[in-house]
Structure 1
């Protein structure tokens, strides 16, 4: 892929990001803001090269994950669009999220 894909973040992924922010903000709102900025910056390289994420077809067809500081960015894509499905901590059972 040579063109930048359109980015779509699902409502569930938005809730995941809000939950992450709320959890970190209990100790430091500034750290929460910084972490959210860092993780959302990771969406940009995926828009240009979505194949960089590891395949997770066993969870859902076409599903991929890109890791950032213990969190998995779960997404699918086609020739036009990158869809962020979930953003979850690595300690969570992702099998339950995609079953």
Structure 2
């Protein structure tokens, strides 16, 4: 699984928030579900919907209240960001996340 720095930071923040709110076991279970959703992209990278409004080549899938943004590089998904669906997605800027590995 390839993660851009922004996506890695997003997953760590989700883990920390979940641990504080639900406890370590439930947060771990939730994060494992997100990671399983991301891993499914390895077999089916085209399964997400195109999200060109956020950046050229971006796609996304949803998992339990989160939107997983990714791009396809060499036939493999690269996770760009993992954002809660209640955030103002229209205001998101992925320029830096798309340029760094």
After TM superposition, the score normalised by the length of structure 1 is 0.85
- How big is the alpha-carbon RMSD for the aligned residues of Structure 1 and Structure 2? 1.3
- Note if 1:48 corresponds to 2:47: no
**Superposition pairs for residues 11-50 of structure 1, below 5 Å?**
11-26=5-20, 27-50=22-45
Structure 1 residue runs of 5 or longer lacking an equivalent are: 1-6
Structure 2 residue runs of 5 or longer lacking an equivalent are: 95-101
The structure 1 segments of at least 4 consecutive aligned residues displaced by more than 2 Å after TM superposition are 78-81, 94-99
After TM superposition, the score normalised by the length of structure 2 is 0.84
- Note if 1:65 corresponds to 2:24: no
Choose between structure 1 and 2: higher helix proportion.
Answer: 2
Aligned length: 93
